[in-house]
Structure 1
């Protein structure tokens, strides 16, 4: 892959983009979630900033019917991993930041997440349903190594015997193997490891601050060896960038013990279209037009598709080719039993001991 000399190394987004909810002339006070610098200013140390926030709740109901989760929880907002295609970038605008470099350089931290989670699980109105960490940003991004907020939340899930799912592309999840093994004894845990490519070159361009492909493959292997159900997320599949890797990737992760593989086709919603196109023209200029045109071909001629059910799978010839290839790969390499649904009975018995009488 050739690339130009003016790309910003170590980041996914290559530019700041203004927040759509504020006019460029609008000024925000420095002490309110930090002042967002006007796009184009030179001052850029390329360092990540961390800001404490204090939400009143942690668990969110997911209303989108095609994302495969009912509830999610995010101990962090923004993500230092810097995946250029990340659909969650747009959510940073609600906090007063941009979806580009701000998303990966300004991380909001919810240190009270474990307490908020326990309040939710203790609530008399709460009915057990798997809660996914994180759904929006990676709960094992680099700062988790120091703060251990996700680990503390997993301890709460174990205490209450409540089901939890994890989505991550960081091998740091193995640090918490002791808790995960205990959760697995009661069928309370599923781990979704995101692996978009087997190529380290592609990984460095697409996801510059994530764990290496080698580390992620090792993560799948170690989790599986410890009887922790693993699903690999090949998400997103980007035509002409990683779409040719479906068969070898599914074969490889199945050999390491993965029980399932899921996928989505990239869609560049909101500001992400601008960010992704800028990234493509700076890092893979010789392939940018072809990739962008093929993404658009999957979404009716545009880079984004917001239609539920269709937006994750796309439409047209390329989309059908990807769907067919994934079907062949799963049928050939993956076990038929897949992953069992998580248990809720243990939580119900713990919360209401009288349930044991039935």
Structure 2
């Protein structure tokens, strides 16, 4: 039996945490044990400390090798999010727990400051965020992303921001100040134009129209913007890609990228349940197409293929993307190079 879907959530499921040796079960739903096993769907913010602020990776699939993640877990509820699996490392589940148990790195700004001040620190653009969205609803309360941007401005450190939340508009003046020093790129994740699809695919994100409006507003202020059409899900949103690129380019977006969906870890279980709930008639076809992108599997860890896919369908998607960029974006401005020469760290601040 499918679990009830709480309002505004991507899933109502709580898959077992594979790292835990025990789990709760409800043997008698009508019995007194129900109180012990039921969990609230109200979002909880859990304060945690940070040993380090900057995460690094050596994946050739990712442009920037350094990222800062002020939050773990994400209230946006995107059913396809690869970060769901990482939530199990913290002792929570990848389903509703990922959406409702948000870990807040309360000291991440002070830890990042100390890293910038190290004498051997070499500046390179950092991504906000590489895991969960830095402008998710928690940011309205805790403002860690804003404080990180303020720190980057203080140290003249380059930063690339990616989000699917309209809350970023709050920090427009700060982003403009960074842009004037060639220290910021802003990317919006847009993978559909249908507000009805948004409600079930990524329920607590901003609408595509809102994000395109922000691209126009930011671009007019000199803040360089790009888009990520990600992830593309065959049979769900792939056909929208040319129109997304057209509208974003018309609003001022300078660059576009894309990824295809992959269902690693417990994502497959959650996604299948989501398909059965919302698109049961398409479930088998969509899954076969996803598998065709990843050598017959829904999951994928092979560099290159895991991001763009492989095979006939992947080639079709790549061709559609290239044609759309060539048609709508090739004559526009390019993203400016980051200025790495004006960084004020490495102990320099201590001289003044």
Normalised by the size of structure 1, how large is the TM-score?
Answer: 0.90
| Alignment of 1:342 onto 2:335 | no
Aligned 8 A contact 1:128 1:348 in 2 = no
Deviation (angstroms), 1:116: 1.0
Partner of 2:29: none
Match of 2:113 among 97, 110, 118: 118
What RMSD over aligned residues (CA atoms) do the two structures have, in Å? 2.2
Aligned 8 A contact 2:43 2:100 in 1 = yes
Normalised by the size of structure 2, how large is the TM-score?
Answer: 0.92
Partner of 1:20: 18
| Change in 2 beyond 3 A, CA 1:52/1:349 | closer
Query: Hey, what's the Cα distance between the residues in 2 that align with 1:283 and 1:198?
Result: 18
| Change in 2 beyond 3 A, CA 1:5/1:84 | closer
Partner of 1:204: 199
Deviation (angstroms), 1:340: 2.5
User: Which secondary structure state, in structure 1, belongs to the residue aligned with residue 61 of structure 2?
Assistant: coil
Partner of 1:30: none
Query: Hey, what's the Cα distance between the residues in 1 that align with 2:53 and 2:273?
Result: 34
| Change in 2 beyond 3 A, CA 1:87/1:5 | closer
Query: Hey, what's the Cα distance between the residues in 2 that align with 1:13 and 1:278?
Result: 8
Alignment deviations for residues 264-306 of structure 1 (CA, whole Å, 9 cap, x no partner): 0101111111111111111221222211111111111110111
Partner of 1:87: 82
Match of 1:309 among 290, 304, 311: 304
What pairs with 1:271-350 in structure 2 (closer than 5 Å)? 271-336=266-331, 337-347=333-343
Match of 2:182 among 187, 208, 213: 187
Would you say how many aligned residue pairs link Structure 1 and Structure 2? Answer: 340
Deviation (angstroms), 1:7: 4.0
Deviation (angstroms), 1:350: 8.6
Deviation (angstroms), 1:160: 0.3
Partner of 2:214: 219
Deviation (angstroms), 1:348: 5.5
Deviation (angstroms), 1:9: 3.3
Deviation (angstroms), 1:46: 1.8
Aligned 8 A contact 2:193 2:240 in 1 = yes
Query: Hey, what's the Cα distance between the residues in 2 that align with 1:277 and 1:40?
Result: 29
Match of 1:55 among 38, 41, 50: 50
Partner of 1:35: none
Query: Hey, what's the Cα distance between the residues in 2 that align with 1:232 and 1:113?
Result: 27
Query: Hey, what's the Cα distance between the residues in 2 that align with 1:138 and 1:197?
Result: 18
Deviation (angstroms), 1:181: 0.6
Query: Hey, what's the Cα distance between the residues in 2 that align with 1:39 and 1:107?
Result: 24
